[in-house]
Structure 1
Amino acid sequence: MYKHILIATDGSELSLKGLRQGLGLAKLSGAKVTALTVIEPLRPQVAQAAQMAGIDDPVGRYDLQVDEMMKERLAAVQAEAAEQGVPVELIHEIDDSPAEAILRTANLQGCDLIVMSSHGRRGLQKLLLGSQTSEVLVKTAVPVLVVR
């Protein structure tokens, strides 16, 4: 069936559902699993505003916060994988576009399935909020399992 599954997670409760589905599928099919979490970099305008507000080294502080957040997020992924008895490789990326990071990682890792969650927004709400899931679906040739 599938040999290498990429599971994209943002640490939300909904993405935990996707993680569980992806790990369950990997367990049934004997697939290798890579879990990816992506966070956007600190915007220069935000760093500049923080400096103007008197915050020393906003980039360094942001990096520390990101490291802490990623440790927590990846620990949750590792715990869920251990509970299901599925080994998982953990990857953390910083990218302006989570969808691009997902596509790039799936390509580089040779994944034959991407598992991700979606809130299922439609219409104006989807347009205003954007959709990383929609972007991945449009730009990939790899099958995508969308969990809601």
Structure 2
Amino acid sequence: MSTYQHILVAVDESPMAYAAVEQALSLAKDLNSQVTIMSVIAIDPFIGVDFYKVAPAITDYFMQAEKNAKERLEDIKNSFVRDGIEVNSKLIHGVSPSQGIIQVADEVGADLVIMGSHGRTGIQKVMLGSVAQNVLTQSPIPVLIVKV
């Protein structure tokens, strides 16, 4: 088994993301790995529309989503710092979550991605898609999917 020197942990607000964080903490401690935690603010579904002038409430929603994501990343980052693990965080916008995860993994030189999965199956998976599935099939590096 190769030693993972740089682990990318993709998080959102779900309990599965926090389970992935716990796995990353354990693995990073055992392997003395550097960690980057990241989150993606979802693509605006109204790209190309003069949406922000028309709907200030939605602008507020996206601003709140960014604020919440920054706070979540900072809280998670502190968990790694407390354990003496070298950690950075990254928040990105304008791409799909799976694209963002793969892009950041490449940017930071990660050699392992850890992320949670909602574990949807059947019609839910077809209708809603699966970020974990997309990352798993598109990533050139190993991906550890954590399910609760």
Identity percentage of aligned residues: 34
Deviation string 1:75-119 (CA, Å, 9 cap, x unpaired) is 221232234332310000113310000001111111110000112
1:5–1:114 Cα contact (<8 Å) kept: yes
CA RMSD of aligned residues (A): 2.3
Partner-residue secondary structure (3-state), 2:89: strand
Where in structure 2 are the equivalents of 1:80-95 lying within 5 Å? 80-95=79-94
Superposition deviation, residue 57 in structure 1: 7.8
Superposition deviation, residue 56 in structure 1: 4.4
Give the unaligned 5+ runs of structure 1: none
The answer to whether the aligner puts 1:105 opposite 2:108 as a matched pair is no
Deviation string 1:110-146 (CA, Å, 9 cap, x unpaired) is 1110000112222211101110000011111200111
Partner-residue secondary structure (3-state), 2:36: strand
Distance, in Å, in 1 between the alignment partners of 2:118 and 2:31 is 27
2:135 aligned residue: 136
Residue 6 (structure 1) aligned to one of 8, 14, 26: 8
Partner-residue secondary structure (3-state), 2:110: coil
Deviation string 1:22-56 (CA, Å, 9 cap, x unpaired) is 121011001110001111143337873982xxx54
Specify whether residues 117 and 57 from structure 1 end up closer, same or farther in structure 2 by C-alpha distance, changes over 3 A only: closer
1:24–1:84 Cα contact (<8 Å) kept: no
1:43 aligned residue: 45
Distance, in Å, in 2 between the alignment partners of 1:116 and 1:64 is 24
Could you tell me which amino acid in structure 1 is paired with residue 10 of structure 2? A
1:6–1:111 Cα contact (<8 Å) kept: yes
Distance, in Å, in 2 between the alignment partners of 1:104 and 1:49 is 27
Could you tell me which amino acid in structure 2 is paired with residue 142 of structure 1? I
User: Runs of at least 4 residues of structure 1 off by over 6 A?
Assistant: none
Distance, in Å, in 2 between the alignment partners of 1:49 and 1:82 is 37
Could you tell me which amino acid in structure 2 is paired with residue 93 of structure 1? I
Q: How many residues align?
A: 144
TM-score by length of 2: 0.85
Distance, in Å, in 1 between the alignment partners of 2:90 and 2:51 is 29
Give the unaligned 5+ runs of structure 2: none
